[in-house]
Chain A
Amino acid sequence: MELQKLNVKFFVEQPDKIALTDFIDVFHSWIQATDGVYHDVADYSHMQAGPGVVLVANSANVSIDESGARRGLLFSQKAPLTGSNQEKIRAVLGAALDNCRMLEAEPALKGKLRFAANEALLSVNDRLVGENSQQSFDALKGDVEAVARQLFGGANVSVERNADSHRQLNVHMRSSAAMDTAQALRNLTVHSPIGGALT
């Protein structure tokens, strides 16, 4: 299985502290602060457990996603990834954590937003690459476990799959040890540089 179009979601601790629509202003400020990196902000705050607020770019979308009735930052890589599968997983986890860190540091949200870095949902957003089957999961599991161990700093790791066949191929990785995003990002980069490339 050659991975592409990976999605990663890190969940928000205490989501009730911030209105979903507050992220609209933040994402617009990101557009204004960068030179044309991002295209648009899509507001789906009227939907229940929907895509939330989406910051659209050519190579990847970043959203405050409410699917599964759990708010989190969803990083959706669209442009092709290079490297080994572990490098690709590490690259999107790193990019997602970078975005989490940027949001946590936003003055308008500071003190109100924290992401739990001891849990992440990885999914393959291309059913041609991998359907949500046990066979695909088995093919992916080893690479995910290896990166998850690194992400969680060697703590015990569990990986499991939501087996609903209509869903994307997905792996829910968890560690029992609490961890913040800064530590998780350090874990990803300290032991080995983040390989793979986001194009």
Chain B
Amino acid sequence: MDQQLNWKEKLGAKIPAELGREIDIFEQQMELRKAGKIDEKVFAETRLRRGIYGQRYDNGQRHDGKRVQRLPFNADLVKGPDTFWDAPGMVRIKIPFGGVTPEQFETLADLSEEYSDGVTHVTTRQDFQFHYVHIDDTPALMRRLAAVGITTQEACGNVVRNVTACPLAGICHEETFDTTPYAKATAKFLMGHPDTQDFGRKVKIAFSGCEQNPCGLVTMHDMGAIAKTRVVDGKKVRGFAFYVGGGLGSVPYKAKLFDEFLPEEELLPTMQAISRVFARLGEKRNRARARIKFLIAQLGVAEFKKLVAEERQKLADDPRWTDFLKSVNDPTEEALKAGISLNGHQRPEGFDAWYKTNVYKQRQAGYVAATVSLPLGDASSDQLRALADIARRFVKDTLRTTVEQNILFRWVSEADLPEFYLAIKAIGLGAADAATIVDVTSCPGTDTCKLGIASSRGLARELRQRLGEKSLQLDEAVKNLRIKVSGCFNSCGQHHIADIGFYGISRNIKGFAVPHFQVVLGGKFHDNAGEYGVPIGAVPSKRIPEAVSTITEFYMRQRQKDERFQDFIARIGKKAVKDLLEDLTKIPTHDVDRSFYSDWGDPREFTLADMGVGECAGEVVSQAEFTLAASERELFEAQLLLDAGHSQHAVKAAYASMVRAAQGLVKDQNPMISENDEQIIAEFTQRFYDTQLFWDKYAGGKFAEYLFKAKEFVGAGKTADADRAVQLLQEAQLFIDAAHDCHNKVRGGIASAPAIAPTLQPGA
């Protein structure tokens, strides 16, 4: 009988040898870890490189809204820092360029049912994720994925992550050429490559077929390639505008142009050379400064380029650099049916609205690409199986995940669309909302992520429902806006590139922790993530839907003819928007309405990092709170200066706002603290940095270092260009957010402030 076999035996040769060996090695490492023969931290990176993440409660405790409870995991052993061995965790599944098949859908459906909670989640980088998976189940899960050609290898960890690409590649009207074979070759070449195994942090790579559309989001990646052609000796040759050093994260950087035309044969060796330079010179100890973007900011792109060129010269020829080029012109896909236009076919109810938002006419006549919108990126096992059946009815293996957490069916004969629509509608996936304000993108946030501060999925769910109810009445200009939500400043929800973005923060209101979202406006999804938005102000989480209504209604009232949202925000200025939201920053007191003190979809009293803050400290507003509020106001003024083109003044004002926030914290312990920045920073360092009171559980001293860096920058009288000024202002925002957190933490009694005698200031 089958039950005598395990999955390795049952699947046998269906598992590709290379992937099978990798999984065997991992299984052995699990055994060695259980036997105490592998160091905990080493195993943590080992499992991460197989896509296995700890989830939020993995430190063995969870705040249940009343108290911290220890969770009864059976093992004493942990699988990595703070992660209990048998605590169910997350598994990320790498899908290069988002390419997926019906057979793979069926396997994912089975696995999510058997090992997860029945949900397969599409991420903002075209991956899939399962949650609540037990680590002992992961080798079997990996083998079953491998048997259908999928790997979790290097889906996480300090390696090259999933290589993403425009989901319209090969069918797009505007692309220069199909980047799919290049993305595929890159993913294959760099996965497990010896030169990509010693990074201080992850590397993300993206491909785009054109400059103007958003699909590839090239400029927010560590390495990004935009398809280009050039005529050389009378012959059209392919290459890429190649970018390096982009990234979102807490402080977003736009990628710099590395080479305006990198010939196709130089693509892989250049990436290899960059990997070697990054591995050699990139930061290793301080994770917060370890992405390529920081190395390039430190070296300058010219010096970085020189080092890469030198490294390139040292590389021994590798046939894999160019072998794949022989077939880049071969068709990568084929249609199941002949391309026939829709003319004259009967259209079911709801079809026209769906067609308008979810259908893209391919450049190949008679064919369309249809987006199936997944609410919050989630598909149930039944839905995935049904989608596999639908795929087999209408297309071949031509499905792609998108960075907007949806599924794209390519090569659908247009005449089949009414039937296709009815089929997806029957499984609850016929919403007419792709690429609209209703199709809110979100990271997992506090639902499952250890770093989450506020409930991004809860907010996204609420916005989706409210906006969905009135979507047919929305003006086109509003309907076409994008909302993206992150649970914290780390930007996995890509809030920086949304028209309206949000990231979770916590604020203390009269002694209670209150979930808030920082409103980030004016980001640009188009032009490969062409602009990053800037923070406007913090609004309580439960007031965010009102904030969205207020902003969009204001836009409708005040916009000039055909004015885009980014231009509108730039024209009216951030102060006007901030004023507009001012009333929404106020909430009833805790005894009047407690709902504001809980997050979306979570009845528990809000608390940070499951650590039990939020005890009522009475009605008295301390000097520290006043000073923290002043720091926010000063930072906002800095933003206005920056908007007016006064970068230098903006930088100084932002620095002053950070000093003000530091002063606020110090005031709680030393009310006599002076106005002198040297003194404030010295006391802040002594009382909050050296004692680690200011430290973030995961980011360590990173936010305090922003203050020290700003002091050095301003003190040295350096000139700030616009990019540096934007970064410094964003760092100031994060520092002030961290100061609030620290203040909440200290007042909530989580960490007692060590007794350090007040220092008398000269002239105080």
Contacts and interface: CB of A to CB of B under 8 A. Distances in A.
B96 interface: no
A128 B3 contact: yes
Contacts of B73: 58
Contacts of A61: 117, 132
A51 B603 contact: no
Specify the main secondary structure of chain A where it touches its partner. Answer: loop
B247 interface: no
Contact of A127 (B70, B114, B448, B464): B114
B74 interface: yes
Interface stretch (B60-68, B175-183, B744-752): B60-68
A40 B489 CA distance: 24
B603 A28 contact: yes
B603 A58 contact: no
Given A44-B378, A46-B376, A48-B427, A5 B114 contact: yes
Contacts of A126: 114
Interface in B443-465: 447-448, 457-458, 461, 464-465
A42 interface: yes
Contact of A28 (B70, B72, B461, B604): B604
Interface in A94-125: 125
Nearest to B70: A36
Nearest to A133: B2
A113 B429 CA distance: 29
Contact of A56 (B114, B132, B603): B132
B69 interface: yes
A44 B382 CA distance: 14
Nearest to B65: A32
Interface stretch (B105-113, B505-513, B565-573): B105-113
- Which size bracket describes the interface of B in this complex? 35 or more
Contacts of A17: none
A5 B70 CA distance: 26
B88 A39 contact: yes
A68 B56 CA distance: 30
A46 B66 contact: no
B117 A42 contact: yes
Given A21-B601, A47-B380, A42 B131 contact: yes
- Which size bracket describes the interface of A in this complex? 35 or more
A16 interface: no
Interface stretch (B4-12, B262-270, B519-527, B753-761): B4-12
A128 B2 contact: yes
A145 B292 CA distance: 63
Contact of B5 (A1, A35, A43, A128): A128
Contact of A54 (B71, B117, B464): B117
A131 B378 contact: no
Contact of A43 (B66, B88, B383, B461): B461
A140 to B, nearest CB: 12
Interface in A36-66: 36-37, 39-40, 42-51, 54, 56, 58, 61, 63
Given A39-B88, A46-B378, A51 B119 contact: yes
Given A39-B88, A46-B464, A47-B378, A58 B72 contact: yes
Contacts of B117: 42, 51, 54, 56, 61, 63
A125 B380 contact: no
Contact of A130 (B2, B69, B375): B2
Interface in B113-155: 113-114, 117-119, 131-132, 134, 140
Of B57, B74, B118, most buried by chain A (CB within 10 Å of CB) is: B118
* In the A-B complex, the 4 residue pairs with the closest CB atoms: A48-B428, A51-B118, A50-B380, A46-B375
Given A35-B72, A128-B6, 18 more contacts: A21-B601, A28-B64, A35-B69, A36-B70, A36-B71, A39-B57, A39-B62, A39-B88, A40-B56, A42-B119, A43-B457, A45-B601, A48-B429, A49-B383, A56-B117, A68-B382, A125-B114, A168-B114
Interface of A: 1-2, 5, 21, 24-25, 28, 31-32, 35-37, 39-40, 42-51, 54, 56, 58, 61, 63, 67-68, 78, 125-131, 166, 168
